[in-house]
Amino acid sequence: MFAVDVCDLPETGGSTFVLIAGVFVLVAGVIVTRWVRQSAGRLSVVVAPLVLLSGFVLVPQVTDPCAPATTTVPSATTTVPSATTTVPSATTTVPSATTTVPSATTTVPSATTTTTSVVGAALTPTFGSTTATANGFTVQITNYNASYEWAGTATASGSVSISGTGLITVTGVAANTSSTATITTTRTGYTGGSNTVTATSLVAMSMVTVGDVGNAAGTTSYGAVSYYYQIGTYEVTGSQYTAFLNAVGSSDTYGLYNTSMGTDTKVAQISRSGTTGTYTYAVMNSTGQRPITYVSWFDSARFANWMSNGQPSGAQTSTTTENGAYNLNGATSGNAVVANTVNPNTLLAPTFRIPLENEWYKAAYYSPNYGGAGVGGYWTWATQSNSAPGTTIGSSPNQASYDVYDAATDVGSFSGSGSFYGTFDQSGNVWEWNDLNGIAGSNRGIRGGMWEYNSADVSSSTRMDYEPDNEDNDVGFRVASPVTLGATGPGGGIIFYKHASGTFACGATLNQNCTYLEVAPNTWSGGSADPSKVWAVAANESVDVPSITNDSYAYNNASGIGLGYKNSEAIVAQGNDTTTAAGAARAYSGGSQSDWYLPSTAELNLLCQWARNVPQSVTTPCTGGNLNTGTGASGGFSIDLYWSSSEDDGIYGSIFAWLQNFFNGYQFANPKYYYTVTTSSVRPVRAF
């Protein structure tokens, strides 16, 4: 009466059948127990629990006789039907079925493992031409496929990013340093692929900005310069010149390499290997920081052309060495040519050239505070001294490479003996080419003396004219350039704006004329990022600042450029100390400059646009681009709100000041007390 054909039950899976089988066995156990108790008195005490226990033990051993295994494994189908006969036989034969059914399930995994086998060949990355950058390089993947996962690593501390179009960008590499990027591809079911690409980052030229425009000439009649310019902190080194040779000297059509560069022990730095068409160059024995010598004026001009053209690689042609700052057109002797006002390859002013004699002389000897604060004059030696320098390498002041030396020293070895503007080795080490007054002619100038000469020869009174094709072991050069965005300013900050129409009013009372705006580095307050400050002390939060020029709308107009100094002075005069934005900005003295201030809305908007690498305009918001890119890459701004020195001139003007959001670029006015607790970021600027 308890026989059940479970195969006629609805199919609800293995768990349902186990439940039915368990109930079936337990019911049978109850019946047997009752029978034992009725017929065997004391025996029931022992037998009954054993029968019940057997029911519980058998429950998990029962398997579904209707399971698919009976169709795939023939050995299982012959024994399972016996489980559906009488109840007693089921308790003995069902377990035998359970021992055979699992054998069918053990073969299933072997089928699934074969479906994950590799079915596709590797995708090996291929690359286009590399483009060197200041801190790495970029290169396009020519067989980019978005179906693959792309990843990369780089040597020389480089970091790799790969865009959605396959552009590889390597960053974090030191200047003039080779880095190899390893790019890998992965995809499910495909063999992984990889390939490498190597490039060298751009040569970096450390430059200082020379200001104090309109200075008078010295007693030697040299040194008067009426404009801002930049000049190399150091002489061009053997390492930098080696990068130049490797870029354009595989055939060396115009003799940029002099064999004495590799043999003269006093200055030897560069070895050459290979033959014409396959020349390569290498720095010898860690001497790459010596000034390069055995270079003519023509060699120096070609280096300037190469730098002005963006440091390209290839044959010595009009786009690499023969034009740019100078139109040399193959000349290696004869008259030196005049510098170009426009680089025909970029249609912009050349970014590097050989300095004029007045530029070289001013950078070496002039100080605007020679006779006291604001009293300009000229030192005798380029170490800010009128006493002959010593000769001790190191950080002591007034030391130079001359007299006692029998070979050139590494540039900057006398680290405590710079000029007022921060140049080194303009007294001693090697003579340096200059462009005289810039006109074409059969001579060019050299100044500075060299390592074997006496103190008079390395002073401001010594100069020589030299034929431009001369190549000697004691003559090198440094480069000059116009002031450009992203360059280091006189205050040690970064130049972020140049006025398009010449000058703008600046100074505490707007009685001066300026051309540039400079921003302090993000470490200006001693930390690693801009500090946060309140706009005013609590007592002044609702008080209008006297004499301040308020802004009626965001972004202001051109009259707001240069206005931040005047505004900041008024804010501080109200009693706002260094715990406030303007007070902290005015207290900053980077580069020994005392004219730093909190920018106006116009200046802050220009700063934001520079930081985001978008066109600068005081009448449009700072939108688009990406923060800390382009020439603004070194800005180090946070995605944050920055205070301006401008109040709002609306009905609540006395309690509202303008902020700039560097995340989305927009400006807005908020109550000065609104950020009393959370504060906003501060970055000083200055005009010059």
| pLDDT at site 82 | 39
Token pair in block for residue 185? 């591809």
- Name the pLDDT band for 60 (thresholds 50, 70, 90): very low
Widest pairwise Cα distance in the chain? 139
pLDDT bucket at 66, cuts 50 / 70 / 90 = very low
Predicted confidence (pLDDT) at residue 345 exceeds the cutoff of 50:
yes
More confident residue, 177 or 107: 177
Which one is predicted more confidently, 285 or 147?
Answer: 147
What integer pLDDT is reported at residue 460 of this predicted model?
A: 97
Query: pLDDT, tens digit, for every residue of 251-272?
Result: 999 999 999 999 998 998 999 9
Whether the predicted pLDDT of 424 surpasses 60:
yes
**Residue 186 CB: number of other CB atoms within 10 A?**
15
d(Cα 189, Cα 656) in Å, to the nearest integer? Answer: 62
- Is the predicted pLDDT of residue 415 greater than 50, yes or no? yes
Residue 244's alpha-carbon distances to 238, 247, 263, in angstroms, are: 10, 5, 19
| Rg (the chain; Cα; Å) | 41
Q: What is the pLDDT of residues 116-174, one digit of tens each?
A: 566 788 899 999 999 888 889 999 999 999 999 999 999 999 999 999 999 999 999 99
pLDDT in the model for residue 590: 93
Q: How confident is the model at residue 653 (pLDDT cuts 50, 70, 90)?
A: low
Q: Could you tell me the two tokens for 683?
A: 């970055």
Q: Which amino acid is at 125?
A: P
CA dist 537 and 256 (Å) reads 63
Condensed to tens digits (0 to 9), the pLDDT of residues 361-413 reads 999 999 999 999 889 999 999 999 999 999 999 999 999 999 999 999 999 99
- Which neighbouring-strand residues pair with 497? 517
pLDDT at 72: 41
More confident residue, 498 or 19: 498
pTM over 0.85: no
| Domains in the chain: boundaries | 6-111, 131-200, 207-482, 494-687
Phi/psi region, residue 448 (left: phi>0; alpha: psi -120 to 50; beta: rest), is left
pLDDT reading at 87 higher than 90: no
CATH value of 207-482 in 3.40.1350, 2.40.50, 3.40.50, 3.90.1580 = 3.90.1580
DSSP for 489-531 reads: -TTSSEEEEE-TTS-EEESTTS-EEE-EEEE--TTTTSSSS--
Q: Of the ranges 197-201, 271-275, 647-651, which is most confident?
A: 271-275
> Between the CA of residue 432 and those of 26, 33, 292, 571, what are the distances in Å?
108, 116, 10, 49
Give the residue, 617 or 655, on which the prediction is more confident: 617
Q: Please give the mean pLDDT across all residues of the chain.
A: 84
Q: Please name the amino acid found at residue 413.
A: S
